Amino acid sequence: MQKQKLTKLAAAVSALCLTLSVSAVADDHHHDHHQQPSNQVPTSAAEWFKVGEQAVLVNKRDAAELRKAKNVILFVGDGMGVSTVTAARILEGQMAGRDGEFNRLGFEKFGYIAHSVTASANQQTSDSAPTATAMVAGIKANDGAISVDQNIPRSEKSAEQHAAHSVKTILERAEERGMSTGVVTTARFTHATPAVNYAHIADRDWEADSNLPAGATVKDIARQLLETPYGDGLEVALGGGRSYFMPNTVADPEYPSQNGRRKDGRDLTLEWTSKYNNSEFIWNQAQFDGINPARTDHLLGLFERSHMRYEADRKDDAAGEPSLADMTDKAIKILQKNKKGFYLMVEAGRIDHAHHAGNAYRALTDTVALSEAVKKAKQLTNDKDTLILVTADHSHVFTIAGYPSRGNPILGKTAVDGVALTDSLGLPYTTLSYANGPGWTGGLQRKEFNPANEGTVSAPYAGSKLRPDLTAVDTATANYMQEATVPMGAETHAGEDVAIYADGPGAYLVRGTLEQNVIYHVMADALGWTNNRR
């Protein structure tokens, strides 16, 4: 008996020593994780080897990653495919005078990464409605669907049918648990990606009551924001789309010659402030700057009639618009007052729009703006209690091609050591291009992006061949439209996987190739919701 006791004691001591040893190693590895690698570009084989070795150490994790999250922030770069991330990384570095290829966007330093399969329930290549629905509701839906299941037709008008097919979102579940919630976007607040958090509707285009078909009893998207039955509603709602909340008899405060879109006579911006205590509605930069998070519990900010300006054009808005990073800052400071935690989605919605327009400059600069917003979130939160995910709803047919030298301007023409490469016609070409879209030049007509109306304007077409001679064209200007292979009025989404970047509690679950709806389940698990449907 005594021998058995000694054996058990020895085993316990051995286990304790092993635990302490593992903990010490884990602490070292966790410490390494927070030490970012040098930004100095390697210049020798030994240095490249060392950088690779350090990258492995940075990716090691300890058991502390199994702790639960108090807060979750989901960043969505709308249309931010892998090629967009790569090109934006290079552009950011080059704009700062650094080696662009060695540069990393803020979220690329996160420790966990996975592929997200973006196919919807009925489409190989999807739109933003079902892809965003997958992320916040945990299911796959049909194209155009906002947080309803795949068994409801897009033409369904009945409110009862919508109720029967609605799927509760992570924002709504957070509200039920007494958490604070918010959504920040540079698109219209009623646009697909932000709307999936709080609305349930079969057609993403039904943003205001004036958009509903005759006989529809389902509530429009803007109205659903004000009439959410969950908790006390969103604490923060920041973006564009002011006209969808205002009646068609009321002049817009920024553009007095234009009125709202609502036919029901309701001014939802006034209803917001009357519904909530310590609430504010704002529409310009000065009002935004005047918001004190400590005294504001419900904030609605709608800074444009439709989408907010691109980051490149924000300075041109006379009324002023906050940056995505500024809106993220304000949102977190309001939400983190809640001791029960918060859920926040932040969308860089205009990356997608610039790609549709065939304008890489604005797509990439808006991606850099998203990176700045992620950095701000990291500064304001603690990685011990806040899970941050950065991903995209879908990709675009945006390519990085040719064989340019390292350091060649990413927005420039493909060149080796400063000497432009040429195609089979003997003409120079850009490193960035699109597989389809409005930048097609086969009709001997070159176009440029027009930021005034987000359309196109004719540009000089140099030469008489099937492609323009770009020798004298500055392809790095903000309005240049990259060439497209297939002529289309707008460039399309792409169907390949996008990346998920994760940091904080629960981030270890982000690995491998995941169906996009798994993102919801990662967030729910990180928050400790043992039954994700309740």
Going by C-beta distance under 8 Å and a sequence separation of 6 or more, which residues neighbour residue 386?
69, 70, 71, 72, 73, 504, 505
Residues 422 and 366 in one domain: no
Locus of tokens 């304000």: 330
15 assigned to some structural domain: no
Q: Which alpha helices (DSSP H) does 181-323 contain, by range?
A: 192-195, 221-226, 268-275, 285-289
437-465 pLDDT tens trace: 999 999 888 999 999 999 999 999 999 99
Residues 362 and 434 in one domain: no
Catalytic residue list contains 128:
yes
Q: Which amino acid is at 146?
A: I
Residues 64 and 393: their CA atoms lie apart, in Å, by: 30
Residues 412 and 384 in one domain: no
36 assigned to some structural domain: no
324-345 pLDDT tens trace: 999 999 999 999 999 999 999 9
∠ at Cα 93 (503, 307), nearest 5°? 70
Residues 223 and 96 in one domain: yes
SS3 sequence of 82-104: HHHHHHHHHHHHHHCCCCCCCCC
531 assigned to some structural domain: no
SS3 sequence of 425-463: CCCECECEEEEEECCCCCCCCEEEEECCCCEEEEECCCC
**DSSP state letter for 285:** H
Residues 112 and 179 in one domain: yes
153-186 pLDDT tens trace: 999 999 999 999 999 999 999 999 999 999 999 9
27 assigned to some structural domain: no
Contact 247, 260 (CB under 8 A): yes
Which CATH number goes with the domain that contains 84? 3.40.720.10
Residues 392 and 434 in one domain: no
Residue 21 has pLDDT above 70, yes or no: no
Residues 486 and 500 in one domain: no
343 assigned to some structural domain: yes
Least confident of 55-59, 90-94, 102-106, 115-119: 55-59
Encoding tokens for residue 303? 């800074």
Residues 416 and 496 in one domain: no
| Residues 427, 429, 433, 436, Cα dihedral to 10° | 0
Strands of 327-477 (E only): list them: 342-348, 386-391, 395-396, 398-400, 415-416, 419-420, 432-437, 446-450, 455-459
Share of the chain above pLDDT 70, in %: 89
52 assigned to some structural domain: no
Residues 38 and 35: their CA atoms lie apart, in Å, by: 9
27 against 237, higher pLDDT: 237
13 assigned to some structural domain: no
Would you tell me the crossing angle of helices 128-137 and 518-526 to the nearest 10 degrees?
30
| pTM exceeds 0.75 for this model | yes
Instruction: Give the count of domains, the chain.
Output: 2
Residue 5 has pLDDT above 60, yes or no: no
How sure is the predictor about 62, in pLDDT bands with cuts at 50, 70 and 90? Answer: very low
Encoding tokens for residue 328? 């993220």
Strands of 118-202 (E only): list them: 180-188
Average pLDDT over residues 472-497: 97
Residue 329's domain comprises 68-397+492-526
351-377 pLDDT tens trace: 999 999 999 999 999 999 999 999 999
Q: What is the CA radius of gyration of the chain?
A: 25
5 assigned to some structural domain: no
How sure is the predictor about 64, in pLDDT bands with cuts at 50, 70 and 90? Answer: very low
Residues 383 and 457 in one domain: no
Residues 361 and 487 in one domain: no
The single residue of 128, 180, 243, 433 carrying the catalytic annotation is: 128
531 against 348, higher pLDDT: 348
240-274 pLDDT tens trace: 999 999 999 999 999 999 999 999 999 999 999 99
Residues 249 and 322 in one domain: yes
Contact 390, 117 (CB under 8 A): no
Residues 134 and 201 in one domain: yes
Encoding tokens for residue 445? 């007509």
